[in-house]
A and B are shown apart, each in its own frame.
Chain A
Amino acid sequence: MKSRSIKTAILSVMLTLFVAAALPSWTSDRPPMKNGPILTAKEAKALIATAKTAKEHLKLSKYFSQQAEEFDAEAKDHDEMIEAYRKSQALGAHAAPGGVGTIEHCEFLAKSDRDMARALREMAAAHEEMAKEADK
């Protein structure tokens, strides 16, 4: 009886902790990075300054690829925001001027995100090349 009560108490505590730990990811609607970011910005800067081995260059390549993926996701978000602003204008929610301005800004941001994603992919590819060179 006693051991059963203890087991129940432990189980309920574990369940509560699991729910609490999972809450932030359940409330976020953007899929998290697979296994989290490979490097923080600070770590990336330090590695850029010191990278010599193939492994280090591949790590930087992965870092820039992840950043590119983030910008691709942001471009998609900005595309959806354009649709939302168009919908809001159609509904007459924005009586005040500025509706068109916000759409233009979103269009600029979506294009900018895609340009940045492309540049980051090129950086990732360059580090992959450096990794190959380091292997020789």
Chain B
Amino acid sequence: MSSHSIRVAVLAVFFLSTSVLFVAAQDHTMNMKEHQLTQKQLKALIVSAKTPEDHMKLAAYFKGEAQRQEASAKTHEEMANLYDSKTEMAKHCKNLSEELKKAGESANSMAAEHEKMAAQLRENK
């Protein structure tokens, strides 16, 4: 084997292992994100959920949603303070913040419903 071929082989191995690491890192990030359910998976799980684990997965999804809504409510509250308090813009931001807080509470209630379903299924076992 010529030294040039060795260099090419080393280079190829280096790039391939970098790619594998890159894919693994992306996979890890995706797993950390949004409680591992796409909208499609979520809807399918809602229809098919039968086990406590299924319901706990749905509960985790809705808890994540609640956190997202609460963070967004905080952002709109901060935005309201940046506009002149007498303007329509400030009112809109305040209303949005209130609406998002309610949406967060609703998502938390959905999480609680699914936790209840999981607990009941465990009891029935």
**In the complex the two chains form, is B15's CB within 8 Å of A13's CB?**
yes
Majority secondary structure, A binding face: helix
Render A1-27 as a binary contact track against B, CB cut-off 8 A, 1 for contact.
010011001101100110111011001
Measured CA separation A106–B48 after assembly (Å): 18
Q: Give chain B residues whose Cβ lies under 8 Å from the Cβ of A41.
A: 72, 75
Partner of A9, one of B12, B95, B109: B12
A23-B26, A105-B109, A109-B106 given; A49·B96 CB < 8 A: no
Interface size on A, residues (CB 8 A): 53
Measured CA separation A127–B83 after assembly (Å): 12
Render A93-112 as a binary contact track against B, CB cut-off 8 A, 1 for contact.
11111100110011011001
Partner of B113, one of A10, A30, A98, A123: A98
Partner of A81, one of B12, B27, B43, B89: B43
Measured CA separation A23–B20 after assembly (Å): 13
A9-B11, A20-B22, A112-B99 given; A48·B79 CB < 8 A: yes
Measured CA separation A2–B92 after assembly (Å): 66
17 A-B residue pairs with Cβ-Cβ distance under 8 Å, sorted by A, are A10-B15, A12-B12, A20-B26, A23-B26, A23-B30, A29-B38, A30-B39, A80-B43, A88-B46, A88-B48, A88-B49, A96-B117, A98-B116, A102-B113, A105-B107, A109-B106, A116-B96
Q: A23-B27, A49-B82 are in contact. List 15 more A-B contacts (CB 8 A).
A: A9-B11, A10-B15, A12-B12, A12-B16, A16-B16, A27-B38, A45-B82, A80-B43, A84-B44, A88-B47, A91-B47, A96-B121, A98-B116, A108-B103, A112-B102
Binding site for A on B (CB under 8 A): 4-5, 8, 11-12, 15-16, 19, 22-23, 26-27, 29-30, 38-40, 42-44, 46-50, 72, 75, 78-79, 82-83, 88-89, 92-93, 95-96, 99-100, 102-103, 106-107, 109-110, 113-114, 116-117, 120-121, 124
Binding site for B on A (CB under 8 A): 2, 5-6, 9-10, 12-13, 16-17, 19-21, 23-24, 27-30, 41, 44-45, 48-49, 77, 80-81, 83-85, 87-88, 91, 93-98, 101-102, 105-106, 108-109, 112-113, 115-116, 119-120, 122-123, 126
